[in-house]
Amino acid sequence: MGIEERIDQLLARMTPAEKVGQMRQIAGSGDDDTEALIRQGGAGSFLNVLGEQAAAYQRLAVEESRLGIPLLFGRDVIHGFRTIFPIPLGQAASFDPGLVREAARIAAREAAAAGVHWTFAPMVDIARDPRWGRIAEGCGEDPYLAACLGAAMVQGFQGSDLRDPERIAACAKHYVGYGAAEGGRDYNTTYIPEGLLRDVYLPPFEACVRAGAATLMSAFNNLNGVPATGNAFTLRKVLKGEWAFDGLVVSDWNSVIEMIAHGCAADEREAALCAVAAGVDMEMTSAAFAGHLESLLAEGRLPLELIDEAVRRILRIKLRLGLFDDPYRRNTAVPLAPEHLEAARQAARESCVLLKNDGLLPLASTVGRVAVVGPLANDGGEQLGCWAFDGRAEDSVTPLAALSAALGEERVRYAPGLDDCRSCGERLIPAAVAAAREADVVLAFLGEDAGLSGEAHSRAFLDLPGTQQQLLDALAATGRPVAVVVMAGRPLTLEPVAEKANAVLLAWHPGTMGGPAIADLLLGVASPSGRLPATMPRTVGQVPLYYNRMNTGRPPRGDAPCVTTGTPLDPVRHYATYLDVDHRPLFPFGYGLTYSTFTYSDLELSTRELKLGEALTVAATVTNTGRARATEVAQLYVRDLVASLARPVRELKGFQRVELAPGEAARVRFALHTDDLSFHNAEMRRVTEPGRFQLWVGPDARGGLQGQFEVVE
Ligand code: BGC
The helix/strand/coil state of 473 is: helix
| pLDDT band at residue 580 under the 50/70/90 scheme | confident
**Which listed residue (252, 379, 449, 520) is catalytic?**
252
The separation between CA 535 and the C-alpha centre of its own chain, rounded to angstroms, equals: 14
Mutation to probe ligand 1, out of 48, 72, 76 (largest number of atoms < 8 A from CB): 76
The helix/strand/coil state of 673 is: strand
**Is 252 tagged catalytic?**
yes
Regarding the beta carbon of 128 and ligand 1, being less than 6 Å apart is answered no
Q: Which CATH number fits domain 1-31+215-320: 3.40.50.720, 3.40.50.970, 3.90.1010.10, 3.20.20.300?
A: 3.20.20.300
Could you report the per-residue pLDDT of 597-610, keeping only the tens digit for each? 999 999 999 999 99
The helix/strand/coil state of 651 is: strand
Regarding the beta carbon of 131 and ligand 1, being less than 6 Å apart is answered no
Q: What is the DSSP string of 271-287?
A: HHHHHHHHT--BEESS-
Strands annotated E in 162-292 = 171-175, 215-218, 222-223, 226-227, 248-251, 283-284
65: number of CA atoms within 13 Å, CB side? Answer: 29
Ligand 1 centroid–CA 579 distance in Å is: 41
Query: Which residues is 27 bridged to in the sheet?
Result: 47
Regarding the beta carbon of 252 and ligand 1, being less than 6 Å apart is answered yes
Ligand 1 centroid–CA 76 distance in Å is: 7
Ligand 1 centroid–CA 398 distance in Å is: 28
CA dist., res. 486 & res. 375, Å (int): 11
Could you report the per-residue pLDDT of 645-692, keeping only the tens digit for each? 999 999 999 999 999 999 999 999 999 999 999 999 999 999 999 999
- Dihedral sign (CA 111, 117, 119, 120): negative
Regarding the beta carbon of 676 and ligand 1, being less than 6 Å apart is answered no
In angstroms, the Cα distances linking 78 to 165, 390, 531, 580 are 19, 10, 21, 40
Regarding the beta carbon of 294 and ligand 1, being less than 6 Å apart is answered no
CA terminus-to-terminus distance, the chain: 49
Q: Quick one: pLDDT at residue 565?
A: 52
Strands annotated E in 212-368 = 215-218, 222-223, 226-227, 248-251, 283-284, 353-357
Ligand 1 centroid–CA 453 distance in Å is: 14
Q: Is 27 exposed, middle or buried (0-12, 13-18, 19+ CB in 10 A)?
A: middle
CA dist., res. 443 & res. 436, Å (int): 9
CA dist., res. 182 & res. 190, Å (int): 6
Domain 338-522 classification at class level: alpha beta
Mutation to probe ligand 1, out of 249, 252, 387, 390 (largest number of atoms < 8 A from CB): 252
Ligand 1 centroid–CA 600 distance in Å is: 43
Ligand 1 centroid–CA 136 distance in Å is: 14
Domains in the chain: boundaries: 1-31+215-320, 338-522, 598-712
> CB under 8 Å to 36, separation ≥6 — which residues?
none
Regarding the beta carbon of 142 and ligand 1, being less than 6 Å apart is answered no
Question: E strand or H helix at 332, and its extent?
Answer: none
**Residue minimizing CA distance to atom 4 of ligand 1:** 253
Could you report the per-residue pLDDT of 183-218, keeping only the tens digit for each? 999 999 999 999 999 999 999 999 999 999 999 999
Ligand 1 centroid–CA 253 distance in Å is: 6
Query: Which residues is 638 bridged to in the sheet?
Result: 651, 695
Superfamily classification of domain 598-712: Immunoglobulins (2.60.40.10)
Ligand 1 centroid–CA 277 distance in Å is: 22
Residue-averaged pLDDT of the chain: 96
Could you report the per-residue pLDDT of 59-103, keeping only the tens digit for each? 999 999 999 999 999 999 999 999 999 999 999 999 999 999 999
Regarding the beta carbon of 120 and ligand 1, being less than 6 Å apart is answered yes
3-state secondary structure 47-98: ECCCHHHHHHHHHHHHHHCCCCCCCEEEECCCCECCCECCCHHHHHCCCCHH
Could you report the per-residue pLDDT of 327-367, keeping only the tens digit for each? 999 999 999 999 999 999 999 999 999 999 999 999 987 89
Regarding the beta carbon of 134 and ligand 1, being less than 6 Å apart is answered no
For residue 455, the ligand 1 atom closest to its alpha carbon is 8
Could you report the per-residue pLDDT of 439-470, keeping only the tens digit for each? 999 999 999 999 999 999 999 999 999 999 99
Regarding the beta carbon of 253 and ligand 1, being less than 6 Å apart is answered yes
From the list 446, 515, 506, 448, the residue with the least C-alpha distance to 476 is 446
Query: Which residues is 46 bridged to in the sheet?
Result: 26, 73
Mutation to probe ligand 1, out of 48, 87, 221, 253 (largest number of atoms < 8 A from CB): 253
Mutation to probe ligand 1, out of 120, 249, 458 (largest number of atoms < 8 A from CB): 120
Regarding the beta carbon of 455 and ligand 1, being less than 6 Å apart is answered yes
Regarding the beta carbon of 173 and ligand 1, being less than 6 Å apart is answered yes
**Residue minimizing CA distance to atom 6 of ligand 1:** 253
Q: Is 450 exposed, middle or buried (0-12, 13-18, 19+ CB in 10 A)?
A: buried
In angstroms, the Cα distances linking 108 to 51, 122, 338, 455, 543 are 15, 12, 16, 22, 36
Q: Quick one: pLDDT at residue 562?
A: 47
Determine the residue type at 655: F
Beta strands 370-373 and 248-251 are unpaired
Question: E strand or H helix at 470, and its extent?
Answer: helix 468-477
